[in-house]
């Protein structure tokens, strides 16, 4: 009887240790991987706040400036993709004109 209690006590101690370890691993993973990304998504989704709109405008302007300073803005694959998209849009507008 006494040995059963001892085994049960050891089992519960191990169970608590494993539970805490799993909680700590999940919490750490969440904070390292998802917290920053969720914060960025929340910033993007909150367009109703003036400072967020200004931040996005400045970010776009900086990216446009960086693109202007480069020799090539698009990769060859991107150029083909955008050109095909342009042709598709152009054809759809031709249908509207008729």
**Cβ-Cβ contacts under 8 Å for 69 (sequence gap 6 or more):** none
Terminal Cα distance for the chain, rounded: 92
How far, in Å, CA of 39 to CA of 32, rounded?
Answer: 12
The string of pLDDT tens digits covering residues 47-96 is: 667 777 788 889 999 988 988 888 888 888 999 999 999 999 998 888 77
Q: What is the CA radius of gyration of the chain?
A: 28
Diameter over CA atoms, the chain: 92
Higher per-residue pLDDT: 26 or 48:
26
By CB atoms closer than 10 A (0-12, 13-18, 19+), residue 43 is middle
């Amino acid at each position: 009887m006494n040995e059963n209690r001892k085994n049960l006590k050891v089992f519960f101690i191990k169970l608590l240790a494993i539970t805490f370890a799993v909680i700590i691993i999940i919490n750490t993973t969440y904070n390292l991987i998802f917290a920053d990304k969720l914060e960025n998504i929340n910033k993007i989704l909150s367009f109703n706040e003036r400072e967020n709109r200004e931040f996005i405008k400045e970010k776009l302007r900086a990216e446009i400036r960086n693109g202007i300073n480069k020799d090539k803005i698009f990769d060859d694959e991107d150029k083909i993709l955008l050109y095909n998209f342009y042709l598709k849009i152009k054809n759809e507008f031709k249908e509207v004109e008729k």
